[in-house]
């Protein structure tokens, strides 16, 4: 992947701070004229050390730490971590809880895909469409807030169940939201799939062949748009997904052909919004009765989890693709090891075949077409460049000083 210099070529770096990127990643491009002839990427711009921190916390605390890995698809990390622990302890969430998990996960998918659609429109310089899609997204966020009390970090899942029930009286609001997306789907599809300018900017741009998708281990919509039938919801049929017969959506369902280009990735995500709405509708209408958690008291959960020994994997199909968590427990209060693999981690290698030979103008939309989520992907302990290291108290004191200084400047 190291870049080779050619005569007359020059390099451009997109990122770590660039208007096209919503999160820091550095893409180094070797450019000849307007054509990309070399691709390399550098991570390491977000340092958080979450995995390390987890080895000093008990599983219930880690659960909420996991939720904070990603600002968009946070539920998928909670769910994957819970499932990993549940596998080790042979714990089974009650059916009603599994249904609520599915509803939560699918609501999250709708909001994440629509958010992405807006970003994609912005990358193409079509801001009107961005504002339109983000307006549509508000509806699902309101619904999520109505169910869980929060727009984004839902805190819905606990080990062996869920933390909030969805009572009967809240169901009409969810159905209303589902209908809202049914009724707006056609308009969105019309704009994204038939607008001539958008089509000319996305069709046959950033092609990822099926073979490349397989060898670079692509996951989620990125892989499906290239024709790889891969969807954890079907392959593992975990939680309540067995009841909904989820089929992986490939672009040929709509256009009859698979190009593996940006257009197909847009298409797959749009169709998945509809699919999610259908799953939610079915799930809400056929929710079984019963308890919502294997054990409700946190102290009891912790006591039962503490003696567990073993290792487990939890997987979930997040909006961007497969999330996989590996947890090793050794009978102590905290996990011995925890490994988080977010979908962007696997979807970065496909960038190389996608970007090769494309124009500079297409770099942003291609880079965005995998829906990159850098905070999910980066991991490291906090390090600093100089020898000075500030403690929490020192930082707090510094911020007090700064505030005081600013106040003086304002004449107060």
Partner 1 sequence: MKAQEVLAGLKKEFGAAIRDATIQKNENNMKKKTVAERIWFHIGRKQLHDAVAYLCKKYPDPHFAVCSGYDLGKEIDILYHFTVNYGVRASEITITMHVLLPKKDAVVDTITDLIPGAIISEREMQEMLGIKVKNIPDGRRLFLDPSFPRGVYPWRKDETGPHKLIRNVHGGDSK
Partner 2 sequence: MIDLLVARILMIVPVTVLGIFIGLLYKGIDRRLAARMQARIGPPLVQPFRDVKKLMLKENIVPRDAVAWVFNLMPFVALASSIVLLMYVPLFGYPPLLEGHGDLMLVLYMLMFPSLALVIGGFASSSPYATVGAQREMITMVSYEFPLAITIVALAWLVSATAPGAAAFSFSAITAIPVWHLVGVLGSIGLALLFAVIIFVTTGEMGEVPFDSAEAETEIAGGLLSEYSGRNLALFYLASAIKILVLGSVVIALFIPFGISGYAGLSGIAGEAADIGFFLVKLFIVMFISSTFIRVAAARFRITQVVKIYWGYTTMIALLGLVLIGLDIFMGVI
Residues 305-364 that bind partner 2 (CB under 8 A): 359-364
**10 part of the interface to partner 2, by CB under 8 A:** yes
The entry of partner 1, partner 2, none that residue 39 binds, CB within 5 to 8 Å by partner kind: none
**The dihedral sign for the CA sequence 164, 166, 167, 170:** positive
**42 part of the interface to partner 2, by CB under 8 A:** no
Backbone angles phi, psi at 318, to 5 degrees: -80, 170
> Peptide bond before 16: cis, by omega within 30 degrees of 0?
yes
Q: Return the residue matching tokens 């966020």.
A: 141
Binding pattern for the stretch 197-216 against partner 2, x by CB under 8 A and - elsewhere: xx-xx---------------
Closer residue to partner 2 (CB): 242 or 359: 359
Element (H, E) at 233: helix 232-235
Binding pattern for the stretch 132-171 against partner 2, x by CB under 8 A and - elsewhere: x--x------------------------------------
**409 part of the interface to partner 2, by CB under 8 A:** no
The entry of partner 2, partner 1, none that residue 189 binds, CB within 5 to 8 Å by partner kind: none
Residue 121: closest CA among 134, 111, 110, 109:
134
Q: Return the residue matching tokens 């006591």.
A: 303
Q: Is 29 helix (H, G, I), strand (E, B) or coil?
A: strand
Q: Return the residue matching tokens 């968590």.
A: 325
Q: Which stretch binds partner 2 (CB under 8 A): 7-15, 52-60, 225-233, 291-299?
A: 7-15
Q: Which residues pair with 32 in a beta bridge?
A: 35
Rounded least distance, CB 357 to partner 2, Å: 14
Closer residue to partner 1 (CB): 116 or 238: 238
Distance CA 82, CA 89 (A): 10
The entry of partner 2, partner 1, none that residue 125 binds, CB within 5 to 8 Å by partner kind: partner 2
Residues 358-397 that bind partner 2 (CB under 8 A): 359-364
What single-letter DSSP state applies at residue 170? G
What tokens does 2 get?
A: 């190291």
At a CB cut-off of 8 Å and minimum separation 6, what does 312 contact? 83, 84, 85, 86, 87, 88, 326, 327, 329
Q: Return the residue matching tokens 């079915």.
A: 282
The entry of partner 1, partner 2, none that residue 364 binds, CB within 5 to 8 Å by partner kind: partner 2
Yes or no: say if 260 and 209 are a contact pair by the CB < 8 Å rule.
yes
The entry of partner 2, partner 1, none that residue 92 binds, CB within 5 to 8 Å by partner kind: partner 1
The entry of partner 2, partner 1, none that residue 341 binds, CB within 5 to 8 Å by partner kind: partner 1
Backbone angles phi, psi at 407, to 5 degrees: -60, -40
Closer residue to partner 1 (CB): 6 or 92: 92
Q: Which residues pair with 12 in a beta bridge?
A: 29
Rounded least distance, CB 49 to partner 1, Å: 6
Distance CA 209, CA 257 (A): 13
The entry of partner 1, partner 2, none that residue 224 binds, CB within 5 to 8 Å by partner kind: none
Residue 206: closest CA among 235, 192, 226, 187:
226
- Residue 346: C-alpha distances to residues 168, 195, 198, 311, 321 (Å): 40, 31, 27, 22, 9
Backbone angles phi, psi at 172, to 5 degrees: -55, -35
Q: Which stretch binds partner 2 (CB under 8 A): 4-12, 43-51, 89-97, 293-301?
A: 4-12
Residues 107-126 that bind partner 2 (CB under 8 A): 121-126
Yes or no: say if 265 and 225 are a contact pair by the CB < 8 Å rule.
yes
Binding pattern for the stretch 254-293 against partner 2, x by CB under 8 A and - elsewhere: ----------------------------------------
Closer residue to partner 1 (CB): 195 or 235: 235
Residues of this chain that interact with partner 1 (CB under 8 A) are: 1-2, 42-45, 47, 49, 51-53, 56-57, 83, 86-87, 92-95, 98, 214-219, 229-230, 232, 234-240, 242-243, 248, 311-313, 315, 322, 324, 326, 328, 336-337, 339, 341, 345-346, 348-349, 378-385, 389, 391-393
* Residue ranges binding partner 2 (CB under 8 A): 10-12, 18-20, 31, 34, 121-129, 131-132, 135, 195, 197-198, 200-201, 359-364
């Amino acid at each position: 992947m190291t870049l080779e210099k050619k005569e007359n070529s020059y390099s451009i770096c997109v990122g770590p701070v660039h208007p096209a990127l919503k999160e820091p990643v550095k893409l180094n491009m070797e450019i000849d004229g307007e054509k990309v002839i070399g691709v390399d990427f550098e991570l390491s711009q977000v340092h958080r050390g979450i995995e390390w921190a987890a080895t000093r916390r008990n599983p219930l605390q880690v659960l909420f730490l996991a939720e904070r890995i990603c600002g968009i698809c946070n539920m998928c990390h909670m769910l994957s971590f819970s499932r990993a622990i549940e596998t080790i302890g042979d714990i089974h969430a009650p059916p009603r809880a599994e249904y609520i998990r599915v509803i939560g996960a699918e609501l999250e998918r709708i909001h994440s895909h629509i958010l992405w659609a807006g970003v994609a429109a912005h990358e193409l310089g079509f801001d009107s469409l961005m504002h339109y899609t983000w307006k549509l997204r508000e509806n699902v966020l309101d619904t999520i807030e109505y169910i869980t009390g929060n727009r984004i970090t839902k805190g819905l899942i606990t080990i062996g169940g869920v933390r909030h029930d969805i009572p009967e009286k809240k169901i009409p609001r969810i159905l209303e939201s589902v209908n809202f997306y049914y009724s707006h789907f056609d308009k969105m599809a019309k704009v994204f799939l038939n607008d001539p300018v958008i089509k000319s900017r996305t069709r046959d741009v950033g092609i990822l062949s099926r073979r490349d998708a397989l060898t670079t281990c692509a996951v989620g919509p990125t892989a499906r748009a290239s024709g790889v039938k891969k969807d954890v919801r079907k392959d593992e049929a975990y939680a309540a997904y067995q009841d909904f017969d989820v089929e992986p959506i490939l672009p040929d369902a709509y256009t009859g052909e698979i190009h593996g280009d940006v257009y197909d990735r847009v298409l797959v995500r749009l169709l998945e919004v509809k699919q999610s709405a259908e799953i939610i509708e079915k799930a809400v209408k056929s929710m079984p009765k019963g308890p919502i958690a294997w054990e409700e008291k946190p102290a009891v959960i912790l006591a039962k989890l503490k003696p567990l020994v073993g290792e487990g994997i939890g997987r979930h199909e997040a909006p961007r693709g497969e999330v996989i968590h590996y947890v090793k427990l050794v009978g102590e209060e905290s996990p011995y090891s925890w490994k988080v693999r977010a979908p962007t981690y696997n979807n970065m290698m496909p960038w190389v075949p996608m970007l090769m030979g494309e124009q500079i103008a297409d770099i942003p939309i291609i880079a965005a077409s995998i829906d990159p989520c850098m905070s999910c992907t980066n991991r490291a302990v906090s390090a600093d460049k100089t020898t000075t290291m500030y403690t929490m108290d020192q930082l707090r004191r510094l911020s007090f000083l700064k505030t005081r200084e600013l106040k003086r400047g304002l004449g107060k």
